[in-house]
Amino acid sequence: MKWKDDYRKKLKTAAEAVKCVRSGDRVFIGAASSIAQTLADALYQRMDELHDVTLSGALILAPQKCFGRDARGHFSFSTFFMGPQERMGFENGVVEYCSIHLSRIDHWCRIVARPNIAFLDVSKPDDEGYVSFGATGPALFGSIIEASETIVLQVNDRTPYVYGQENRMHISDADIIIETSHLQPFVRDSEPNDEEKAIASHIVSEIPDGATIQLGIGRIAGAVGYGLGNHRDLGVHTELMTDSMKYLYEKGVITGRKKKLLPGKMTASFTFGSPELYDFLDRNNDMHFAPYTYVNNPYTIAQHDDFMSINTALMVDLTGQVHSEAIGLSQYSGTGGQLDFVRGAQMSKGGKSFIALSSSVESSKRGRTSRIVLSAPPGTAVTTPRTEVQYVVTEFGCVNLKDLTMQKRALALIELAHPDFREDLLEEAIKAGLMGNV
């Protein structure tokens, strides 16, 4: 097989591979569960030789040496979604954030990140010399490759081989190859608390058999997933593949029989979950991975009947504006795909969009505060405008805001707030003039 000879000719150590990077270069290192960690670590070892190298990627869980204070001037990092490591890097003056809907990720790849070098974590090659982009790569690697001049593959024997579209590349299209063996960053579902279970129960009761579902990240979304165990013939079309979906598939709840697009297939763009979930994805013919530009396109979403979108928020104001990514000017996560799915679900025949959050939150500094607020702190980004919001859910109920006036919205949202805050919220709404001449 000629590709094997080509593979051997391109094979280098990580230290040799990163010598392709020069000062001023722009280097993509991966996202979520597809990070070229071995290459990133090797690049850090060259830090003193390099200046003004811009790295890019998103939702980084594993510690990154390139995000430390000592990296300033040598490395910077551009991201479209803040993970825990990006938040640390931001504090160190290394990370910059760009707000973009995931359905437009191709724009971010070409115009914002615009790498000239791509470090890609991929699976071992198949018999024809193709490597798979793994549990997250199909979301955007295709657009990254189009933007890049040099492709460096990190062939990782722990990376799952996934099927779908824009999910693989041939060895002949790589410039440099290294080999490694390490499990990608993973997270395990934690047990939801009573509030989260109550929120999930309100949503589960609204989801019909045969629906196609999308779940966001976090414990509330997980509680909804595990709460659907008695449903039948659900389908999956989601940016994020989760352990709860694996559970529903193995239980026979997810069959995809009634999906209008790719019936029988679970469609996703990226994955965060347990090592067992990554193993589940490996060469699974019932999985179909595809780019964000396809999966998050509202018109793609809308082609499914009874589409159910479940996402979470940090706070909701009394007019229905949803704040899911930041508090004030402090960026916590990212714009992501929330609005893509909010819009697509409501364009679907029988579809519903849910924004879920606990009614209050406890902190050591501020004590218990309400997540239902008159207005968010100055500078807080609006992730989903009030014109797009449909259902809002807390542990105290579920309300459809879509056809309510501002005054009735405020009253409905106050009823979703924790009882300790309802009286104050009503007084604030009246004082602010939101209730008219009440």
CB atoms under 10 Å from CB of 191, counted, come to 10
DSSP 125: P
The one catalytic residue in 86, 166, 195, 239 is 239
Tokens standing for residue 300: 């793609």
Q: Which value, in Å, is the radius of gyration of the alpha carbons in the chain?
A: 23
**Which strands, in side-by-side order, build the sheet including 391-394?**
287-289, 266-271, 235-241, 212-215, 307-312, 352-356, 391-394, 397-400
H or E element that contains 119: strand 117-122
Tokens standing for residue 391: 């259902």
State the Cα–Cα distance between residues 149 and 170, nearest whole angstrom: 16
State the Cα–Cα distance between residues 35 and 56, nearest whole angstrom: 11
Report the Cα–Cα distance between both ends of the chain, in Å, rounded. 80
Q: Would you state the torsion angle of the CA atoms of residues 187, 190, 196, 201, taken in this order, to the nearest 10 degrees?
A: 90
Contact 250, 298 (CB under 8 A): no
Give the CA distances from residue 107 to residues 34, 112, 147, 246, in Å, rounded to whole numbers and listed in that order: 20, 7, 10, 31
Q: In sequence order, what are the residues at sequence separation of 6 or more whose Cβ sits closer than 8 angstroms to the Cβ of residue 186?
A: 33, 272, 273, 274, 275, 277, 278
State the Cα–Cα distance between residues 195 and 295, nearest whole angstrom: 31
The DSSP string of 210-279 is: T-EEEE-SSHHHHHHHHHTTT--SBEEEEEEE-HHHHHHHHTT-B--TT-SSSTT-EEEEEE-S-HHHHH
H or E element that contains 298: helix 298-301
H or E element that contains 394: strand 391-394
H or E element that contains 153: strand 150-156
Residue 428 is a catalytic residue: no
Compute φ and ψ for 73, nearest 5 degrees.
90, -30
Residues annotated as catalytic are 239
